[in-house]
Amino acid sequence: MEFQPTSSFTFVLFGGTGDLSMRKILPALYEAHRAGMLAASGKIVAVARHEEDRDGYLRWVNEHVKAHVAKSGVDENAWSSFVDRIEYVKLDLGKAEDFVKLRDAMQDLPGTRVFYLATGPSLFVPICRALASVDLNENARIVLEKPLGYDLRSSNAINDAVGEIFAEEQIYRIDHYLGKEPVQNLLALRFGNALFEPLWRREWVESIQITIAEELGVEARGDFYDNTGALRDMVQNHLLQLLSIVAMEPPHSMDSDSVRDEKLRVLRALKQIDPRDISKVAVRGQYHAGVIRGTSVPAYATEPGVKTDSATETFVALKVEIENWRWAGVPFFLRTGKRLADRVAEIVVNFRAVPHSALGSSALRPGANRLVIRLQPNETIRLYCLAKKPGEGMNLSSVHLDLAFDQFFKEGQMEAYQRLLLDVIHGRLALFVRRDEQEAAWKWVEPILNEWAASGKPKPYAAGTWGPAAASAMLAQHDTCWLEEEN
Which residue out of 50, 68, 238, 478 is catalytically annotated? 238
> Please, what is the end-to-end C-alpha distance for the chain in angstroms?
38
Nearest to 340 by CA among 316, 364, 356, 318: 316
With the C-alpha atoms ordered 97, 98, 99, 104, is the resulting torsion angle positive or negative? positive
Q: Is residue 479 annotated as involved in ligand binding?
A: no
**Is 169 annotated as contributing to ligand binding?**
no
Task: Determine whether the annotation assigns residue 101 to a binding site.
Answer: no
Query: d(Cα 410, Cα 360) in Å, to the nearest integer?
Result: 42
Contact 86, 55 (CB under 8 A): no
Angstrom distance (rounded) from CA 25 to CA 284:
32
3-class secondary structure, 280? helix
Question: According to the annotation, is 93 in a ligand binding site?
Answer: yes
Please report, for residues 98, 146, 201, 211, the alpha-carbon distance to residue 11 in angstroms, rounded to integers and kept in the order given: 18, 19, 43, 33
Q: Are 352 and 205 in contact (CB under 8 A)?
A: yes
Would the annotation count 180 as a binding residue?
Answer: yes
Q: Using only the alpha carbons of the chain, give its radius of gyration.
A: 24
CB atoms within 10 A of CB 424: 23
- Burial level of 178, CB count in 10 A (0-12/13-18/19+)? buried
| 478 included as an active-site residue | no
DSSP 11-62: EEEETTTSHHIIIIIHHHHHHHHHTT-S-TT-EEEEEESS---HHHHHHHHH
Q: Which residues are catalytic?
A: 238
Residues belonging to the binding site are 49, 92-93, 146, 176, 180, 214, 233, 338
Annotated binding site for NADP(+): 49, 92-93, 146
